[in-house]
């Protein structure tokens, strides 16, 4: 049976947030956290992974506050680690494996340092770590991909979404289809408050004002799998080399011909890697 977006859709009220998510499967809880792009959701990031992982685990793909169909949030309100813990508490999940792309990976890293008793496995795909890019001014400013992402937030047209998808992936001819780009544009424009809050929050540290402290990475004790595209133009793969050097129980898989969206560009390999890692590590 093929899982559908509508059939897996759920909502829940936590202490502070009304959160939208997708749920499937049984067994060990696995929480999937999406990235920060305009129109990003749990489903848009992980629609090619939920069904495969749900054959082995109890999977939750969450729209975090400020994205998708979850509550809007200003940058001053954003604490995705706290939101993730509230989500777990509301569903009665004591511990879970966390799988995070980009912003979601940064959230998962920070959660592993601040709530080590709530996480069993850590999987990241292209998380930013360390010194954040300067969003304004000359010098070593944002990466090529981040520049395009910000422009897509400012003007979420189908054209800018095409530029965004092209910079996120290695094989742009395959993934930057007119249909996908229009769908991302429609999804972003459906929640103009999300767009406005992101742009207004840029001088204040959006999308996440609080990041993991690099000096705490060595304290992460859970098994950690780092997945990174060799051709990532948003967050360089050297970032995951830094994580590999600092997280004791970590391993790195560097995927050739792959950009920032490993789970979308190489779903079969991603699903096998993550499934086997959580089941056996």
Q: Which residues are designated catalytic? A: 260
Measure the CA–CA gap between 266 and 249, rounded to whole angstroms.
24
Cα 225 to chain centroid, rounded: 15
What the block records as the tokens of 254 is 């560097």
* Helical packing angle, 144-154 and 158-168, nearest 10°: 160
CA atoms of 170 and 151, how far apart (whole Å): 20
| Angstrom distance (rounded) from CA 61 to CA 32 | 5
Query: For residue 104, which of 42, 50, 35, 170 has the smallest C-alpha distance?
Result: 35
How far apart CA 124 and CA 227 sit, in angstroms, is 6
**Where are any strands of DSSP class E within 102-178?**
119-125
- Non-local CB neighbours of 85 within 8 Å, separated by 6+ positions: 111, 115, 118
């Amino acid at each position: 049976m093929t899982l559908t977006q509508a059939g897996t859709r759920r909502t829940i009220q936590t202490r502070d947030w009304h959160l939208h998510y997708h749920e499937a499967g049984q067994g060990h809880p696995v929480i999937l956290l999406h990235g920060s792009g305009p129109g990003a959701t749990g489903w848009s990031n992980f629609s090619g992974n939920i069904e495969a992982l749900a054959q082995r685990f109890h999977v939750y793909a969450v729209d975090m506050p400020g994205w998708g169909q979850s509550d809007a949030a200003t940058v001053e309100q954003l604490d995705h680690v706290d939101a993730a813990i509230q989500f777990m508490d509301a569903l009665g999940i004591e511990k879970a494996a966390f799988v995070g792309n980009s912003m979601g990976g940064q959230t998962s890293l920070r959660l592993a340092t601040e709530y080590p008793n709530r996480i069993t496995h850590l999987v990241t795909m292209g998380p930013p770590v360390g010194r954040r890019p300067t969003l304004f001014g000359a010098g070593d400013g944002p990466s090529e991909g981040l520049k395009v992402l910000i422009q897509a937030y400012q003007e979420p047209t189908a054209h800018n979404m095409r530029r965004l998808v092209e910079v996120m992936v290695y094989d742009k001819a395959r993934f930057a289809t007119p249909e996908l780009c229009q769908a991302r544009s429609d999804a972003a424009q459906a929640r103009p408050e999300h767009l406005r809050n992101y742009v207004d929050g840029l001088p204040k540290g959006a999308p996440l004002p609080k990041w993991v402290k690099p000096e705490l990475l060595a304290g992460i004790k859970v098994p950690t799998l780092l997945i990174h595209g060799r051709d990532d133009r948003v967050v360089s793969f050297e970032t995951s080399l830094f994580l590999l050097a600092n997280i004791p129980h970590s391993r790195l898989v560097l995927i050739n011909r792959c950009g920032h969206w490993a789970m979308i560009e190489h779903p079969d390999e991603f699903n096998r890697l993550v499934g086997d890692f959580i089941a056996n590590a």
